[in-house]
Amino acid sequence: MRILLTNDDGVQADGLDVLKQLALSLSDDVWIVAPATEQSAASRGVTLHNPVVVRKLAEKTYSVSGTPTDCVIIAMREIFEDVRPDLVLSGVNRGQNIAEDIGFSGTVAGALQGMQMGVPSMALSAARGLQNHNIGKVNWSAVLKNGPDLLKTLIKQGWPENVVLN
């Protein structure tokens, strides 16, 4: 299974490293195409008036000077060529994406673009604090402990086309 990873926190983000570990529990064909810099709250924005620079950082790892939406489009149209991914995973976001945050989230936007291009897609996020879920440190060990089984279950049972899991 070929898996595309993206996010909105940038290619160097801890959450992307965690997501890669989760994805490697499913497949060894894992690709990263993520923003070169943080794109939090970029929503579904695309880059129209500036050049988009794509850099190969390592085998199957690219940075893009654009939004998460740009990343998915470039991956599908340029990097993968004839072999599309079977799954798009976007995240793991620092802070949960719920309620009105969904409309602003670049993490959710990456998954939405994957779905729009015909690939089952999922956005993942992790709450940080007990009182304010977007302040504090993320417990990445909890994500790593529970993530693989959750992903395997969701992939096994599947979900309808034109639906993004968040």
Position 133 pLDDT exceeds 70? no
Mean pLDDT of all residues in 130-146: 77
CATH of the domain at 101: 3.40.1210.10
Range of the domain at 44: 2-165
Amino acid at 150: L
- Three-state DSSP class for 121? strand
Q: What is the pLDDT of residue 124?
A: 94
b (16+ CB within 10 A) / e for 154-165: ebeeeeeeeebe
pLDDT category, 135, cuts 50, 70, 90?
low
The total of structural domains in the chain comes to 1
Give residue-wise pLDDT tens across range 145-159: 999 999 999 999 999
- pLDDT by residue (tens digit) across 34-72? 999 998 888 888 999 999 999 999 999 999 999 999 999
Please tell me the predicted confidence (pLDDT) of residue 125: 92
Whose tokens are 């929503």? That residue is: 43
Q: What is the pLDDT of residues 106-132, one digit of tens each?
A: 999 999 999 999 999 999 998 876 665
- The confidence score (pLDDT) of residue 134 equals 60
Q: Encode pLDDT of 72-87 as tens digits.
A: 999 999 999 789 999 9
Q: What is the pLDDT of residue 127?
A: 81
Q: Residue 33: pLDDT above 90?
A: yes
Residue type at position 17: D
Q: And the tokens for 72?
A: 């998915």
Higher pLDDT, 44 or 88: 88
Place of tokens 């673009």: 113
139 vs 57: which has the higher pLDDT: 57
**pLDDT surpasses 60 at 137:** yes
The arithmetic mean of pLDDT across residues 91-113, rounded, is 89
The first and second tokens of residue 74, run together, are 């470039």
Q: What is the per-residue pLDDT for 29?
A: 98
